[in-house]
């Protein structure tokens, strides 16, 4: 690692020795999982570069933006509207919550039976290894599941810049009104933080940037309908993960370049795996960087993942925000409309998600669904039963996997996944 980066990390208060060890493990994991894949699109090299610089160049860029007077906002949830952040010339970054870290310290603060995602957020903070948390001028928590909601009360002791957004639990007019009120309050908080007054023109620009990023991902997803699929589920997941922290304009350009290559591959009938490989839709909890365990198991067991019904996937990116309004009021309403459609399992009832899963199975021609629940995640694990019933009614094979971030159950999961793929 260059001296410049070391200086940067020290300046952010990271624990260099532990951070070096983390990068070492991450690098090895990445090489073993991603670089070992065969028949990858060449343009995926961009994301290899992004990953190799995830704590380097990207952090330097954020610090340069801060030096130029712009603000960085960190988030744990797809309900935080990036359009509003962009409208204030600020940058929104997703805070990775995809690996266990400093677990002993974490379990002094959180109950053991907390999901890995929440524990991970705390582990990265307590272990002093996340340059994104340390670069953020504001960190947004949201009242989604009980675990997250209550953990922010504890996180508040560890960081000084936490902002908590309330969120509805029902798709009712009252629920929508709450979301509207919270986005208005958030807009004001972003204005106060940045010193920028967000007007209609700025909102329009913010909506355009974020829509372009989503459209590029929609284009990529669309190519996954082909058989043979021109891109692996692992690589598509990587693009969905980078969606949260890469520069949005550069991300859009790079994904579109990948799409150009995928288009050519489809014309030549070139796939990552042979035509007829069993096709899987993964549905459930979000998979944040560097949580690649289950996709890696699936794609080394003779199947290909053709879609993710997940916040790091189609639940998070589907639906564009209508940017045709001309007033601030119209544009904020459009933002609320777009986010109110996100069908997270914190909503009850949540028929929209069940319908969306069935729709995705048809759209991506999936042969079966693997439902992925993080242990102790009540919303998704409880909703898994409704998902199973909905799939059963359509005679769509389903497998339920409840797991965490440890590697202890890899052998057992592989056996179950292989048996499931066998019956497809
Ligand atoms: S909109 S899915 S990103 S809340 S896994 S912490 S639900 S106990 S992450 Fe999420 Fe926003 Fe919903 Fe999406 Fe709780 Fe479950 Fe843990 Fe979870």
pLDDT tens-digit series, residues 203-245: 999 999 999 999 999 999 999 999 999 999 999 999 999 999 9
Pairing, β 138-142 against β 91-94 = unpaired
Determine the atom of ligand 1 nearest the C-alpha atom of 115: 16
């039976």: which residue's tokens? Answer: 113
Determine the atom of ligand 1 nearest the C-alpha atom of 345: 12
Residue 316 tokens read as 């998070």
Average pLDDT over residues 330-358: 98
Query: In a 10 Å sphere around its CB, with 0-12 CB exposed, 13-18 middle and 19+ buried, how is residue 395 labelled?
Result: exposed
Residue nearest to atom 1 of ligand 1 (CA): 344
Give helix then strand counts, H and E, for the chain: 19, 8
Of the candidates 102, 100, 116, the residue with the CA atom closest to the CA atom of residue 29? 100
Determine the atom of ligand 1 nearest the C-alpha atom of 145: 14
Residue nearest to atom 13 of ligand 1 (CA): 311
Residue 2 phi, psi (nearest 5): -70, 155
Per-residue confidence band for 276, with pLDDT thresholds at 50, 70 and 90: very high
Whether the per-residue pLDDT at 1 is higher than 80: the answer is no
Residue nearest to atom 15 of ligand 1 (CA): 377
pLDDT at 2: 78
């996709």: which residue's tokens? Answer: 295
Give helix 57-67 / helix 3-11 axis angle, nearest 10°. Answer: 60
Of the candidates 45, 41, 43, the residue with the CA atom closest to the CA atom of residue 270? 41
CB 392 within 8 A of CB 358: no
pLDDT in tens, 168-189: 999 999 999 999 999 999 999 9
Of the candidates 247, 231, 389, 243, the residue with the CA atom closest to the CA atom of residue 310? 243
Q: Which residue out of 81, 92, 145, 241 has the highest number of ligand 1 atoms within 8 Å of its CB and is therefore the one to mutate? A: 145
Residue nearest to atom 11 of ligand 1 (CA): 77
Question: 363-394 burial, b if ≥16 CB within 10 A, otherwise e?
Answer: bbebbbbbbbbbbbbebbbebbebbbebbeee
Average pLDDT over residues 91-99: 94
Q: Which residue out of 74, 95, 117 has the highest number of ligand 1 atoms within 8 Å of its CB and is therefore the one to mutate? A: 117
Strand partners, 203: none
Q: What is the rounded distance in angstroms from the CA atom of residue 310 to the CA atom of residue 292?
A: 14
Q: How far is the CA of 148 from the centre of ligand 1 (A)?
A: 8
Residue 386 tokens read as 């409704």
What average pLDDT does the structure give for the chain? 97
Strand partners, 372: 284, 401
Whether the per-residue pLDDT at 73 is higher than 90: the answer is yes
CB 86 within 8 A of CB 205: yes
Ramachandran assignment for 395, one of left (phi > 0), alpha (psi -120 to 50 degrees), beta (any other): left
Q: How far is the CA of 249 from the centre of ligand 1 (A)?
A: 27
CB 378 within 8 A of CB 145: yes
Least confident of 24-28, 85-89, 154-158, 381-385: 24-28
Whether the per-residue pLDDT at 381 is higher than 70: the answer is yes
Task: Using only the alpha carbons of the chain, give its radius of gyration.
Answer: 21
Q: How far is the CA of 311 from the centre of ligand 1 (A)?
A: 8
How distant, in Å, are the alpha carbons of 153, 261, 340 from that of 227?
48, 16, 33
Contacts of 321 (CB under 8 A, 6+ apart): 83, 207, 210, 211, 334, 335, 337, 338
Residue nearest to atom 14 of ligand 1 (CA): 145
Query: In a 10 Å sphere around its CB, with 0-12 CB exposed, 13-18 middle and 19+ buried, how is residue 221 labelled?
Result: buried
pLDDT at 48: 96
CB 420 within 8 A of CB 368: yes
Q: List, chain by chain if needed, residues with CB within 6 Å of any ligand 1 atom.
A: 77-79, 115, 117-118, 144-145, 147-148, 285-286, 311, 342, 344, 346, 374, 377, 379-380
Q: How far is the CA of 317 from the centre of ligand 1 (A)?
A: 15
Per-residue confidence band for 96, with pLDDT thresholds at 50, 70 and 90: confident
Pairing, β 279-284 against β 162-165 = unpaired
Q: What is the rounded distance in angstroms from the CA atom of residue 224 to the CA atom of residue 234?
A: 12
Whether the per-residue pLDDT at 374 is higher than 90: the answer is yes
């Amino acid at each position: 690692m260059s001296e410049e980066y070391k200086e940067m990390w020290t300046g952010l208060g990271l624990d260099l020795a532990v951070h070096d060890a983390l990068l070492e493990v991450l690098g090895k994991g990445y090489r073993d999982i991603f670089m070992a894949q065969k028949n990858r699109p060449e343009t995926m090299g961009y994301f290899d570069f992004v990953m190799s610089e995830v704590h380097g160049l990207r952090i330097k860029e954020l610090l340069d933006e801060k030096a130029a007077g712009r603000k960085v906002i960190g988030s744990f949830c797809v309900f935080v509207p990036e359009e509003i952040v962009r409208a204030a010339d600020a940058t929104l970054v997703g805070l990775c919550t995809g690996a266990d870290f400093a677990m002993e310290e974490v379990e002094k603060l959180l109950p053991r039976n907390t999901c890995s995602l929440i524990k991970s957020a705390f582990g990265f903070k307590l272990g002093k290894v996340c340059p994104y948390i340390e670069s953020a001028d504001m960190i947004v928590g949201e009242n989604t599941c009980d675990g997250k909601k209550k953990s922010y009360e504890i996180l508040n002791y560890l960081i000084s810049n936490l902002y908590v957004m309330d969120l509805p639990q029902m798709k009712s007019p009252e629920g929508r009104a709450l979301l509207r009120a919270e986005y208005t309050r958030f807009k004001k908080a972003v204005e106060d933080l940045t010193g920028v007054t967000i007007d209609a023109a700025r909102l329009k620009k913010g909506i355009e940037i974020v829509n372009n990023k989503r459209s590029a991902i929609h284009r990529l997803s669309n190519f996954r309908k082909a058989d043979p699929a021109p891109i692996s589920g692992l690589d598509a997941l990587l693009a969905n993960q980078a969606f949260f922290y890469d520069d949005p304009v550069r991300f859009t350009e790079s994904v579109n370049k990948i799409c150009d290559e995928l288009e050519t591959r489809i014309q030549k009938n070139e796939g990552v795996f042979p035509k007829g490989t069993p096709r899987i839709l993964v549905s459930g909890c979000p998979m944040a960087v560097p949580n690649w365990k289950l996709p890696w198991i699936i794609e080394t067991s003779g199947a290909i993942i053709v879609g993710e019904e997940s916040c790091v996937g189609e639940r998070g990116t589907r639906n564009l925000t209508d940017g045709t309004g001309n007033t601030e009021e119209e544009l904020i309403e459009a933002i609320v409309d777009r986010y109110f459609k996100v069908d997270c399992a914190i909503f009850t009832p949540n028929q929209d998600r069940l319908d969306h899963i069935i729709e995705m199975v048809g759209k991506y021609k999936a042969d079966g669904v693997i439902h992925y629940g993080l242990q102790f995640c009540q919303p998704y694990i409880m909703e898994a039963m409704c998902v199973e019933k909905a799939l059963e009614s359509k005679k769509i094979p389903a497998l339920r996997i409840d797991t965490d971030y440890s590697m202890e159950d890899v052998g057992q999961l592989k056996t179950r996944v292989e048996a499931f793929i066998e019956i497809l």
